[in-house]
Amino acid sequence: MEDSPETDLTYESLIHDLNNVFETITEAAELLSADRRWKSLAATLCRTVNRGKRLLGAIPDSTPNLAAVVEDAIQSVTDYCIAARKPRMRFVRQISAEARLPGSAKDWERVFANLFLNAAQIMHKPGRIDIAAQQLEGCLTISVSDNGPGIPADILPRLFRPNVSTKTNTSGRSGLGLHIVSSIVRKYSGRVIAANRERANGAVFTISIPGS
C-alpha cells in the first residue's frame, strides 16, 4: 500500500500559492504602470502586495519600531480609502522615534491597520485619527482616537468579541477586526480598552503594553 500523501494545506504551501497570486497582481501592476493614467493605481497594488507578503512572513520581519509600524498601517488604510472611494482620513501622530514594541512588526501592523480601517469604514465624510504614545513607569500606552460617530452603547461591552461590528452595513464584513486587535495585544501581555470620547464625538482605543 502506498503511503498517503502529506496534506498540501500547510502554512508553507499556502505562502507558496499566495506568492503566485501576488506575482500575478505585481505583473498586472507593471502593465498598468506603463500608462500614466494608471501609475497611481499600480503603485497602490504593489504596496498592497508587499503588505500581504509582510503579513504572511514572506518578507523578513523587522524590529517593531512604533512610528514605522504606524506609517505602514497609515499607508495601507490610505490606499484602501482611495481605491474604495471612501472619505480620506487625516492622521495626526504624537509618537517618539525611539518607541519600540515587543515581538513582531507584522503583528502590530495588523493591530493598527485594523483600528484605522475600522474608523475609516464608519466615516461618511473626511475625518481625523490621532495616534499618541507615551512611556510611563515601564508601560507603553498608545491611544488611537477618531472624530467619527462613536461606538453604540449596546455594542461597547462586547466590542472585541468575534463577529461583532460597529458598522450598520456589514455586507462582506466578518466583524473580526477588533477581535484580532485584542488577540494580538493580549499575545504580548497587553490590554486594549475602547470608549467614546468624553468631550467630542468619536471613539478612543487605548493600548497598554508592559515592559516595552
Residues 52 and 139 grouped into a single domain: no
Give the residue from 38, 60, 82 where a domain finishes: 60
Q: What is the pLDDT of residue 143?
A: 97
Residues 137 and 103 grouped into a single domain: yes
Q: What is the pTM of this model?
A: 0.82
Pick 60 or 106 by higher pLDDT: 106
Q: What is the CATH number of the domain that holds 151?
A: 3.30.565.10
Q: In this model, does residue 150 exceed pLDDT 70?
A: yes
93 contacts 137 by C-beta, under 8 angstroms: no
Which of 2-6, 62-66, 180-184 has the weakest average pLDDT? Answer: 2-6
Structure confidence by residue, pLDDT tens digits, 154-184: 999 999 998 887 766 555 556 789 999 999 9
Residue showing cell 499556502 = 14
Q: Rounded to whole angstroms, how far apart are CA atoms 124 and 162?
A: 25
Structure confidence by residue, pLDDT tens digits, 70-99: 999 999 999 999 888 888 899 999 999 889
Average pLDDT over residues 14-35: 84
Q: What is the pLDDT of residue 118?
A: 92
Residues 149 and 130 grouped into a single domain: yes
Average pLDDT over residues 46-64: 79
Residues 101 and 11 grouped into a single domain: no
Average pLDDT over residues 130-137: 92
Residues 4 and 36 grouped into a single domain: yes
Structure confidence by residue, pLDDT tens digits, 186-207: 999 999 999 999 988 999 999 9
Q: Which domain holds residue 23?
A: 1-60
- Mean pLDDT taken over the chain: 86
Type of residue at 116: F
Residues 51 and 89 grouped into a single domain: no
Give the residue from 60, 84, 109 where a domain finishes: 60
Neighbouring C-beta atoms of residue 183, cutoff 10 Å? 16
How many folded domains does the chain comprise?
2
Structure confidence by residue, pLDDT tens digits, 99-115: 999 999 999 999 999 99
Residues 85 and 187 grouped into a single domain: yes
Residues 73 and 173 grouped into a single domain: yes
Give the residue from 60, 81, 104 where a domain finishes: 60
Q: What is the pLDDT of residue 10?
A: 74
Residue showing cell 513607569 = 137
- The SS3 call for residue 175 is coil
Residues 54 and 133 grouped into a single domain: no
Laid out side by side, the sheet with 89-94 consists of 89-94, 127-136, 139-146, 203-210, 191-196
Residues 77 and 170 grouped into a single domain: yes
Residues 136 and 42 grouped into a single domain: no
Residues 182 and 101 grouped into a single domain: yes
